[in-house]
Structure 1
Amino acid sequence: MKWLKSLVVAGAVQVLALAGAHAGANLDKIKQTGVFRIGTEGTYAPFTYHDASGALTGFDVEIGREIAKRLGVKAEFLEGRWDGLIAGLDADRYDAVINQVGITEARKAKYDFSNPYIASKAVLIVRGDNDEIKSFADLKGKKSAQTLTSNFGKLAESSGAELVGTDGFDQSIQLVLNGRADATINDSLSFYDFKKHKPDANVKIAAQQENADYSGVIVKKGDPELVAAINKALDEIKADGAYQKIADIYFGQDVSQ
């Protein structure tokens, strides 16, 4: 049995050695290449979208650029559909995803998150002339336009809705407006931004969640050095006023709490 015990000990030592060798490897790579690769949708205003000139912009995009600046590198944004965005971390397509990714226990089991950088509430959006849906419970048997793997999609499904798959907020709103869906559950901040630009749009909030949801920067599991560096950058962004300036542009208020 001694040989077996020795083998176990040797294996444990090897695992620890490998862990030590890889600790901080991603952060080192980012600093060596001078690039912080960020996965994002590019279709989710006001967080990540393309402006009239075609340039990628948005609250999350600006936060990503500020994080990269404080890491001493350049932000490189790689766009993809939401349904495959987080999986891109496993494929090493990017170093982090900054795309209003809600911090959930299920995701934390497989990935690591930074500290929260924004808070929002889920709201139930219907046409302005819809008086039938007044609560989440009223979604039972109704069609709800959602990105299928999002927290909002799961909430709609748990409320008894039939999901109509979409690529993001804009498409979900359009399906509600044209009557192809009865409702959509989405981000309150996205809705307020939408109404700011299109105040006459025939949609309204029928209900909202009581508690706020928090989003963070999501990275591969087991990379505490990178998480710590991102958290430090977020602290600096909030302390020096950069966060407030970005929040004022997109929301007119602090959205961190």
Structure 2
Amino acid sequence: MKTLALAAFTGALLMAGTAVQAQDDLSAIKAAGVLKIGTEGTYAPYSFHDKSGKLQGFDVDIGRAVAEKLGVKAEFVEGRWDGLIAGVDAKRYDAVINQVGITQERQAKFDFSKPYIDSKAVLVVRSDNDTIKSFADLKGRKSAQSLTSNFSKLASSHGAEIVPTDGFNQSLELVLSGRAEATLNDNLSYLDFKKQKPDAKVKVAATATEGDPSGILVRKNQPELVAALNKALDEIKADGTYKTIAVRYFGEDISQ
């Protein structure tokens, strides 16, 4: 009987600990006065360094605005995309804001805020490539992609052979050099690249018909943190902060 009672008491403590853990992240963030955000730092126009070396970008500014609404400061921790999401579980930071697509696979392991941006995948090839005209044409072709990205999975679903890269810039370099025949990424990143390098010999061969919503990724079972992030996103849209950030990087309001 004592053993059963002890087991029941221990189980109750574990359940209580789980319930407290669901609130721990938000409480800890506010106590520390800092929201630690994982980001890539090499993915223009979302997260990159300007000529002076300062970290900036659409996602960076969204992170700063959201942190301000939470009443804390944003602190960014940079890392390569393929290990970025794992850094949340390792508790190197509290959230990832880096165009993380909201997928069922990720939702099984992590929590997300509501979507804060929705972009479409584009298929990018060299300007002189006339053989790849659709996503279906990727079958048997080399596509340069970050291995764990949504775009890598999309390319694989069309039968592409994946050439691993560290990010979009390296993927484009491989396409331009001929070491890969294509790369998939989002339309806004491609437009920013062409704005920065209008003479680059690449083109969009195809555009996805449906968008890919991205959200702020956090550890699993964080309902209060997710609610606070959603409230912050609603507030920056309502007070015009989101529009200002969007116009700064994309030239128009993309909140709709």
Q: Same fold (TM over 0.5)?
A: yes
Q: Give the superposition deviation at 1:184.
A: 0.3
Superposition map of 1:40-51 within 5 A: 40-51=39-50
Aligned to 1:170: 169
Aligned to 1:233: 232
Superposition map of 1:21-60 within 5 A: 21-60=20-59
Alpha-carbon displacement from aligned partner over 1:185-220 (angstroms, at most 9, x marks no partner): 111110011111222211111111111000000000
Aligned to 2:192: 193
Structure with greater strand percent: 2
Alpha-carbon displacement from aligned partner over 1:90-146 (angstroms, at most 9, x marks no partner): 110000000000000000000000000000011100111111000111111111110
Distance (Å, rounded) in 1 between the aligned partners of 2:12 and 2:210: 45
Distance (Å, rounded) in 2 between the aligned partners of 1:7 and 1:213: 49
Residue pair 2:33, 2:71 contacting (<8 A) in 1 also: yes
Relative to the length of structure 2, the TM-score reads 0.96
Aligned to 1:180: 179
Q: Give the superposition deviation at 1:16.
A: 2.9
Relative to the length of structure 1, the TM-score reads 0.95
Residue pair 1:120, 1:255 contacting (<8 A) in 2 also: no
Distance (Å, rounded) in 2 between the aligned partners of 1:20 and 1:185: 41
Distance (Å, rounded) in 2 between the aligned partners of 1:255 and 1:193: 14
Q: Give the superposition deviation at 1:7.
A: 6.4
Distance (Å, rounded) in 1 between the aligned partners of 2:166 and 2:255: 26
Superposition map of 1:200-239 within 5 A: 200-239=199-238
Aligned to 1:161: 160
Aligned to 1:140: 139
Structure 2 unaligned spans of 5+: none
The count of residues paired between Structure 1 and Structure 2 equals 256
Superposition map of 1:121-140 within 5 A: 121-140=120-139
Distance of aligned partners of 1:23 and 1:137 in 2 relative to their CA distance in 1, 3 Å threshold: closer
Distance (Å, rounded) in 1 between the aligned partners of 2:21 and 2:212: 33
Return structure 1 stretches of 4+ with deviation > 3 angstroms: 2-12
